[in-house]
């Protein structure tokens, strides 16, 4: 929601950040958990922006 509101107000770049990607062991498990945590929120943001016609910018 915050990312969309920033974009609606003219911000040209929004970075979504989550820590913990620097794994040196158990990569499949640890990265899998992180991917599951960010996949749906990012997909929802992209879907929302597309529905509002904001992806073309």
Give per-residue pLDDT as tens, 32-50.
Answer: 888 999 999 999 999 999 9
Whole-structure pTM over 0.85, yes or no?
Answer: no
Does 56 map to a domain? no
Q: How far apart are CA 32 and CA 29, in angstroms?
A: 5
Does 11 map to a domain? yes
How large is the average pLDDT for residues 3-14? 94
Token pair belonging to 34: 């992180």
Judge whether 42 and 1 are in contact, CB under 8 Å. Answer: no
Question: Confidence band (pLDDT; 50, 70, 90) for 25?
Answer: confident
Does 43 map to a domain? yes
Does 57 map to a domain? no
* Number of domains forming the structure of the chain: 1
Q: Which domain holds residue 14?
A: 2-51
Model pLDDT, residue 57: 63
């Amino acid at each position: 929601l915050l990312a969309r509101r920033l974009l609606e107000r003219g911000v040209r770049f929004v970075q979504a950040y989550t820590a913990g990607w620097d794994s040196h062991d158990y990569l499949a498990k640890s990265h899998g958990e992180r991917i599951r945590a960010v996949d749906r929120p990012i997909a929802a943001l992209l879907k929302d922006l597309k529905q509002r016609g904001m992806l073309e910018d």
